[in-house]
């Protein structure tokens, strides 16, 4: 009862922060979260093990494993050329369906997801001290929306403007099960994670410590 209709339900309403940027708290059920965490653990130990990408000689504090296409600064390839050369796992059909449902949910249009076929997902793992600096997601050729899901510890997400990394920006809480869709006029908004709040994950989400963020994207790329 508290989980369903408690303070959180009132304090964190569904909200469009800017045109095309929609936050839907508590969108995934605990059972869906658990199942995704179990898959994440398999993928993290798959053909391309989870790792911290190197950006300009520094390791990112976040660890990443990819599906469909492998992201490394600042491009997508089928093979993890900066890890072990192996091909990344295919993008699963169930995740395409989940992405379409997310677009329908965020837009309120029952047909809005029909043409949405994400072909890559980045799964980021944050420990208690990990951060993500302000950035734009601009390595995709398509301007289709990015679907973001959070599981585990709560984070502070900084949603900025499309011009630069500084103000104006707004800090919001992304908690376990939250959906955030980044599309339309907000597709190239700067954003980042300023902190993780250790010990805040719901007991039954499947993750004991840290946070997983999944972002599904449409690369606009073809093989060959």
Q: Which residues pair with 89 in a beta bridge?
A: 67
Residue from 8, 105, 137, 139 touching Fe ion (CB under 5 A): that is 137
Q: Can you tell me which of 157, 175, 201, 219 binds ligand MD6, judged by CB under 6 A? A: 157
Residue placing its CB nearer to ligand MD6 in the complex, 65 or 193: 193
The span of 27-35, 131-139, 169-177, 196-204 binding Fe ion (CB under 5 A) equals: 131-139
Partner interacting with residue 193 (select from Fe ion, ligand MD6, none; CB below 5-8 Å by kind) = ligand MD6
Tokens of residue 13, six digits: 């309403």
Instruction: Locate 160 and state its tokens.
Output: 């900025």
198: helix, strand or coil? coil
Number of Cβ within 10 Å of residue 40's Cβ equals 20
CB atoms within 10 A of CB 184: 15
Decide if residue 146 touches ligand MD6 (CB under 6 A): yes
- How many contiguous H segments (helices) and E segments (strands) does the chain have? 4, 15
Nearer to ligand MD6, 84 or 185 (CB): 185
What are the backbone dihedrals phi and psi of residue 129, each rounded to the nearest 5 degrees, phi first? Answer: -105, 0
Query: Residues interacting with ligand MD6, by CB under 6 A?
Result: 124, 132, 137, 146, 148, 157, 174, 180, 182, 191, 193, 213, 215
């Amino acid at each position: 009862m508290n989980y369903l209709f408690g303070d959180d339900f009132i304090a964190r309403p569904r909200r469009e922060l800017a045109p095309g940027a929609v936050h839907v708290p508590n969108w995934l059920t605990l059972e869906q979260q658990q199942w995704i965490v179990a898959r994440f653990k398999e993928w993290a130990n798959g053909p391309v093990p989870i790792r911290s990408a190197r950006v300009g000689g520094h390791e990112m504090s976040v660890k990443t494993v990819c599906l469909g296409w492998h992201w490394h600064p600042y491009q997508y390839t089928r093979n993890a050329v900066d890890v072990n050369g192996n091909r990344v796992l295919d993008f699963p059909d169930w995740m395409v369906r989940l992405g379409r449902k997310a677009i329908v949910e965020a837009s309120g249009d029952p047909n809005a997801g029909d043409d949405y076929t994400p072909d890559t997902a980045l799964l980021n793992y944050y420990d208690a001290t990990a951060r993500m600096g302000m950035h734009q997601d601009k390595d995709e050729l398509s301007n289709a929306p990015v679907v973001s899901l959070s599981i585990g510890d709560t984070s502070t997400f900084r949603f900025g403007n499309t011009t630069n990394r500084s103000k104006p920006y707004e800090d919001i809480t992304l908690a376990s099960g939250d959906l955030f869709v980044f599309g339309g006029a907000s597709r190239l908004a700067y954003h980042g994670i300023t902190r993780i709040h250790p010990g805040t994950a719901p007991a039954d989400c499947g993750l004991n410590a840290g946070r997983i963020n999944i972002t599904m994207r449409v690369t606009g790329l073809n093989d060959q």
